[in-house]
Structure 1
Amino acid sequence: MTRSIRADAVLIQAVIAGALSFAHLHDLAAAAGQSGWKAWAYPVSVDLLLVAAWRRLRTGGTSLAWSWFLIALVASLGANVATAGFLDLEHPPAWLRFSVAGWPALAFLGGTLLAHQPTPRTEPEPVSAPAPERPEPSAAAVPEVSPDAPEITPPVPALALPEAAPAVPPALIDHARKVAADHRARTGYDIDTATLRARLGVPEALATAIVTQLA
């Protein structure tokens, strides 16, 4: 119940603040010589540029997005201050008429640049590590047979040494941890060897060694 009341209060506050800012921008545009529907279009243009810049900042803040966000914010705050009696709206200065008349071109340029700005990549490209060389097992020594012995001792068969685990570079381990954390955040389960091998593009033996170190 308390959460619902808070949400309603925030919504009402946002509507009141938006309506006041909208009216101030309209009054300023009308005082600067913009009449009819053109005076009502100025508040919409300023607010849309402010929202577009904010959305671009949420998806990856850049200097371009910050610049247009500050331009739209200054335009909105300037209209609120100007209509509070700091300017004679009956006889607006020339710089105010110039600013209002040039705003459509400025807003169109800002909206176009924000719309065509590429979104930065958040996940690095998978790193492919070369397969490490495996040491060849050495043959066991065959005992020598004495010539005086009555029987010939059969040779001892060669024993295969256990396969050594491949060495994993630290940089690949760090990248694998990021991939595993992203997989768990999206699915809720730990990443398996097959999925990790496909994401990293490494051999099965190396993927198994990485999963062992991530456990």
Structure 2
Amino acid sequence: MLRSLRFDAVLIQAVIAGALSFAHLHDLAAAAGQTGWKAWAYPISVDLLLVAAWRRLRGSGPSRLAWCWFLIALVASLGANVATAGFLDMQHPPAWLRFGVAGWPALAFLGGTLLAHSPAPDGDRSPVSPASAAPAPAPEVPAPDPAPEREEIPAPGPAPALPEAAPAVPPALVDHARKVATEHHARTGTAIDAATLRARLGVPEALANSIVAQLA
């Protein structure tokens, strides 16, 4: 029995759009004086920069650097589609078009280098309001009534201190703290301490100590 082939309409549309955009960039580069293999290299350069910026956005989260180069590559691709639709005289391209096409390799090299070697931004941290970060004030306990002068009651000794139970730490908070500790170690070369982790996460001191103990 022959197995039926399932065609994804979105994938087919993406292939058609990519092929047309590729051809438009090639025609624009050839019209601007880039002949031979150079005309074919221009659409590859634009598409690779677009993909690199999109992967940076998907992998490291929103950042101004990735959005900037994504928009630059998108404008270059859309500009080629519009230019080859009859809005420009491809037989006599203007000087600014020749200038832009000739300067694109250096611009694309700069964008690819920055996207590949710039450090990724820190993970999103939930803002902590000052009211929730500050410890709650201890409730006021009324002073005991003074004992009568006739009776001599010995003062009670200090109560024995009970060991404090370690606070429970949610697994999601431990995972986020491990990412923060890894980023701190990569940047400074030293392990993160409880005070720094407390400031980064905005958690109480006891909870920060418990998290550091689990990360050790």
Would the TM-score normalized by the shorter structure come out above 0.5?
yes
Alignment-derived partner of residue 105 in structure 1: 106
Q: CA deviation at 1:91?
A: 0.6
Alignment-derived partner of residue 13 in structure 1: 13
What is the TM-score with the length of structure 1 in the denominator?
0.59
Q: Which of 162, 165, 170 is equivalent to 1:164? A: 162
Alignment-derived partner of residue 194 in structure 1: none
Alignment-derived partner of residue 201 in structure 1: 213
Over residues 3-53 of structure 1, what are the superposed CA-to-partner deviations in whole Å (9 max), with x where a residue is unaligned? x84x62111111100000000000000000000000000000000000000
2-side partners of 1:180 and 1:106: how far apart? 41
Where in structure 2 are there 5+ consecutive unaligned residues? 126-158, 177-208
1-side partners of 2:94 and 2:175: how far apart? 59
Distance 1:17 1:200, change over 3 A: same
Q: CA deviation at 1:99?
A: 0.2
Amino acid in structure 1 at the alignment position of 2:99: F
Alignment-derived partner of residue 191 in structure 2: none
2-side partners of 1:71 and 1:11: how far apart? 24
Alignment-derived partner of residue 32 in structure 2: 32
Alignment-derived partner of residue 76 in structure 2: 75
Alignment-derived partner of residue 60 in structure 1: 61
Alignment-derived partner of residue 91 in structure 1: 92
Q: Find the structure with the greater CA-based Rg.
A: 1
Q: CA deviation at 1:165?
A: 5.6
Where in structure 1 are there 5+ consecutive unaligned residues? 125-160, 183-196, 203-215
Partner of 2:34: helix, strand, or coil? coil
How many corresponding residue pairs?
147
2-side partners of 1:198 and 1:121: how far apart? 23
Distance 1:122 1:80, change over 3 A: same
What is the TM-score with the length of structure 2 in the denominator?
0.59
Give the percent of matched residue pairs that are identical in Structure 1 and Structure 2.
72
